[in-house]
Amino acid sequence: MRMKCLIVSALACVCSSVQAQNLLDNGSFETPGPGFIEFASWMNFGNIFAADSGEVVAIDGVVSAKMFGASNGAQSDQVLTQNVPATEGELYTLTTYCQNLSSDALGDENIILAQMVFRDAGGSALETVEVDAIDVATDPLDTWVMKELSAVAPVGTTNVDVFLLHIQLGTDAGFPTQGGGASFWDNISLTAGDAPCSNPADLNGDGELNFFDVSAFLTAYNQGC
């Protein structure tokens, strides 16, 4: 009976996954912050505002974060950032949802980025990885676009900064005008320890679940392994 239960248990263990904990606080921007802090747990710089359903329907909750450049001719940087503890050798995955509305479309001078910056105990940056949260040239309008960014924390890591960036380049970068536009963000998450999926029930490693896996298990069981 015990052997039968072990076989059933092994064959049932096929990449079952539990949703990893979000290491970020207030990832959907539902909780407002005090004073000049627009959203609780997030530091913000530049033009950062809360957007409700009158502007865009949130993917999670009722509020999303809105960023837009100053459009004054100079480069304008908008930043939302949060710092969390991190462990060297751990795999971290940053997931973002961002939207570019046709009613307030982003011009080509806008760069919309999500970043992870791994830091040591002294605050020095060890490694920076990033992804275009919105690619203005290729990503669709009026759609929540999901992007993921994964990296292993380098040796010496004690924390990681998550940055959501809306950079509006200036006329000195070769743009005769600044067309403007806004980026909308929601449902931001940072998870740790999500390794590539493996199948522990595929005991013979052929990529399939069948009798040969049961046979491999019985062989190992009879050998006392």
Q: Where are the domains of the chain?
A: 20-191
**Neighbour tally for 8: CB within 10 Å:** 10
pLDDT digits 0-9 by tens, 90-109: 999 999 999 999 999 999 99
> What is the band of 223 on the pLDDT scale with cuts at 50, 70, 90?
confident
> Is domain 20-191 classified as CATH 3.30.70.360?
no
Predicted structure pTM score: 0.78
The H-or-E segment that residue 11 falls in is helix 2-12
The answer to whether residue 3 scores a pLDDT higher than 70 is no
Q: Nearest to residue 19, comparing CAs of 93, 81, 116? A: 93
Contacts of 30 (CB under 8 A, 6+ apart): 61, 62, 63
Residue 28 CB contacts under 8 Å (≥ 6 apart), including other chains: 58, 60, 61, 63, 64, 186, 187, 188
Residue 86 has pLDDT above 60, yes or no: yes
Q: Given this model, what pLDDT does residue 179 score? A: 75
Radius of gyration for the chain, computed over Cα atoms and rounded to the nearest angstrom: 23
Contact 147, 98 (CB under 8 A): yes
Annotate 29-73 with DSSP letters as a single string.
Answer: --SBPSTT-SBTT-EEESSEEEE-TTT---SSSS-EEEEE---SS
Gap between the Cα atoms of 196 and 46, Å rounded: 37
- Cβ atoms of 50 and 39 within 8 Å: the answer is yes
Look at residues 6, 74, 18 and name the one whose alpha carbon lies nearest to residue 191.
18
Of 203 and 42, the one with more pLDDT: 42
Return the bridge partners of 121, or none.
none
